[in-house]
Copies of this chain bind each other. A is one copy, B any other.
Amino acid sequence: GEALIDHHRGLRQGAPEVIFGQGKTSEQILRIAEGLLNGNNNVLVTRLDADKAAPLVERWPEAAYDPLGRTLTIVRHAVATTGRGPILVICAGTSDLPVAREASTAARMLGNRVEELADVGVAGLHRLLAHLDQLRRASVIIAVAGMEGALPSVIGGLVAAPVIAVPTSVGYGASLGGVAALLGMLNSCASGVTVVNIDNGFGAACAAARINRQEQP
């Protein structure tokens, strides 16, 4: 017997090939980006340090580099908003902002409307509860938190929408580089919270985009 599979992963996943900048030289990224642009694609580079971004911005002055989220975007044709509703990216502390920003930039590039909410950690509940309406309007919530990673549990108890938890490596000592937050989120007492890798804002955005697609299979 035989089975067929086709070659068009891009189409199947609904997501552009994104360049993972970490561990690549500016030259390598430049070459790959050139190929993508020639194919008339928009380009998203993640985990890109400022010094490595410089030659790219010089080559393509229309490129936008974001030093906070460490992403570079080159938009050749406007990204159509295809998501069903807003994706809300929430983070607990200011140190979690880089990961949150990576998530929101990626979610926008994948065709979603994105809202951001920062500094709403669980040790200051009133700050979170002041935004209950916004929380309940969201189509998907990406909750980013380091240290004990309790934010997604609280949010999961407040809304019915899908909640994607992103642990961050923010912290020291027994935070074990984000493992404490990761374990906390995997053991969330709010049923139906799902988790991605430590600091993986990009992956959370991809998952949210999969969920937020308008068309059905």
Contact = CB atoms under 8 A, between A and B. Distances in A.
A170 to B, nearest CB: 7
Contacts of A121: 189
Contacts of A162: 207, 210-211
Contacts of A193: 196, 203, 207
A199 B173 CA distance: 7
Contacts of A179: 174, 183
The prevalent SS among residues of A at the interface is mixed
B189 A122 contact: yes
Contacts of A147: 187-189
Interface stretch (A34-42, A72-80, A134-142): A134-142
Given A3-B5, A173-B200, A190 B159 contact: no
A93 to B, nearest CB: 7
Interface string A53-69: 00000000000000000
7 contacts: A2-B6, A125-B158, A148-B153, A161-B213, A167-B173, A174-B179, A183-B183
Closest 3 CB pairs of A and B: A173-B198, A192-B206, A150-B150
